[in-house]
Amino acid sequence: MTSIPIDVRSELHELIDTIQNQSVLQAVYTLLAAQRSATLPPAVLSGEEAAAVAEGIRQLDVGEGIPHEQVMTDIWLKYGR
């Protein structure tokens, strides 16, 4: 386990203590509990999201993928480094 500086842990505790919204508190708890067991809850995709993933896989299968280097170059050209 990687050591985290005490000030980060302390600030995290303080931030959690300030959470008033029960839904946010539950979300933080769920995230931290999932991390503890080193598993995340399974992602639930909408039909549209699942279709987009399937389409992406199909594109990769037929060689229509875009190399990571090209994507990064395009982003750098558009937004800068």
Same domain assignment for residues 32 and 52? no
The two structure tokens encoding residue 50? 């699942």
Within 13 Å of residue 64, how many CA atoms lie on the same side as its CB? Answer: 7
CA–CA distances in Å: residue 31 to residues 18, 23, 25, 46: 17, 12, 10, 21
pLDDT digits (tens, 9 = 90+) for 4-55: 677 888 899 999 999 999 999 999 998 888 888 766 667 888 999 999 999 9
> What domain range is 31 assigned to?
6-36
Is residue 25 a contact partner of residue 19, using CB atoms and an 8 Å limit?
Answer: yes
> Which residue is associated with the tokens 């875009």?
66
Residue 74 lies in a domain: yes
pLDDT digits (tens, 9 = 90+) for 61-74: 999 999 999 999 99
Residue 80 binned pLDDT confidence (cut-offs 50, 70, 90): confident
Residue 17 lies in a domain: yes
Looking at the structure of the chain, the number of domains it has is: 2
DSSP code, position 42: P
Residue 1 lies in a domain: no
Rounded CA separation 42/27 (Å): 15
